[in-house]
Structure 1
Amino acid sequence: MNMRNKEPIAIYYARLMKNGRIIIPEGTRSFLKLKEGDQVELKVKPAEDDVSALFISNVGKRGLVVIPKHIRERLSLKPGSWLEVTLLAIYRPIIRAEGSV
């Protein structure tokens, strides 16, 4: 999967919560029609640094997304850290009709 050189869909700032959680703002979720169960491709970087990381995560209730532990460790992220978050792609689950293969 080529996660480089994608045009951003949205850029926002978020504060890291316990267990590596961040929230996609409600206005952004509403505008993009993001729902629980969708997957998002994100680039995160500490607000005061130029080092970044890319990952894909499921969107949870109220727009919660979890940054994987190995990324939090590599970027030295702690709860309360401010992050610049770039939304690069949205992947929606495929819903198949009953009886289809």
Structure 2
Amino acid sequence: MALEITDATFDEVVLKSDKPVVVDFWAAWCGPCRMVGPVIDEVSTEYEGKAVVGKVDVDANQEFAAKYGVRNIPTVLVFKDGEIVSRQVGVSPKKVYTDAIDAVL
């Protein structure tokens, strides 16, 4: 399962990570988010130990969603060394997410 990331843990979990980090910005009421969620969970399992995969509920945690210009959800950002290296907005096939991780591993 993907890690739950909050505004309080974002800095430590995402920005200071020594591994690539995939962050799925989502909300419970968002239909497309419910389609992406299981895919993100699969990616989390497959990349365990190689990348950090987490989710940010934008209703409860708005600080970093605003900071990174997340206006539409789902938005999946990939971070490497605290910097965004990939941004995917909307529903995408799993390969799009895994390719983005593989590019920075």
Q: Structures share a fold, TM > 0.5?
A: no
Larger % of helix: which?
2
TM-score (norm 1): 0.31
**Structure with the greater alpha carbon radius of gyration:** 1
TM-score (norm 2): 0.30
